[in-house]
Structure formats: structure tokens, C-alpha cells
Amino acid sequence: MYRAVVTVKLKKGVLNPEGRTILRALNFLGYKEVKDVNTFKCIELFIEDEDRDKVMKRVEEMCKKLLTNPVIHDYEIELEKLD
């Protein structure tokens, strides 16, 4: 069993309106020390397989087919073996 965490971030240059909204709200609430905010999403997958290379390859495929939009997203995959 593997635990995979896919971190999906917007590419540099793509506007993040959610982050911008949080930044404005925090500044408005008095947290003036906050200078920038980004948000990103993580997807945690539990995968029943013992072959690390195969798991990595399949998760890459899932990212391309379903989990991310390659036009606007960058992604990173972390794998962790579970007992």
C-alpha cells in the first residue's frame, strides 16, 4: 500500500483570485504584515500496489488525465510506503 500526495499549484503567471481575496481580507482585518498569499490543493491517494515505479507511473498518468489541468497547473507527487 502506498500513500501518494499530489500537490497541484497554479503555474507562475496564472492569477490566483482566491489567494488575492484572502490577502485583502487579512490586511483588512489588521494583519498588515501579510504580503502575499497563494493557495494550492493536495490530493491524497491510497493505492494498493507494492511496485513503487509502477505506482509513480500510474499516478503521473492520473495527474495528466484527471487530477490536473496542464494548461494552468504544475504538480508534484510524493510517495510514501505504508505498512
**81 near a second copy, rule: CB under 8 A:** no
**29 near a second copy, rule: CB under 8 A:** yes
Build a one-symbol-per-residue string for 5-24: x at contacts with a second copy by CB under 8 A, - elsewhere. Answer: --x-----------x--x--
Show Cβ contacts of residue 74 under 8 Å, excluding neighbours closer than 6 positions.
8, 9, 10, 11
Question: Cell for 51?
Answer: 511496485
**36 near a second copy, rule: CB under 8 A:** yes
Asked whether 75 and 66 are in contact (CB, 8 A), the reply is no
**47 near a second copy, rule: CB under 8 A:** yes
Distance, CA of 79 to CA of 4 (rounded, Å): 5
User: In the set 20, 27, 62, 79, which binds a second copy (CB under 8 A)?
Assistant: 62
Give kind and range of the element (H or E) at residue 3.
strand 2-10
Q: Write out the residues near a second copy by the rule CB under 8 A.
A: 1, 7, 19, 22, 25-26, 29, 31, 33-49, 55, 58, 62, 65-67
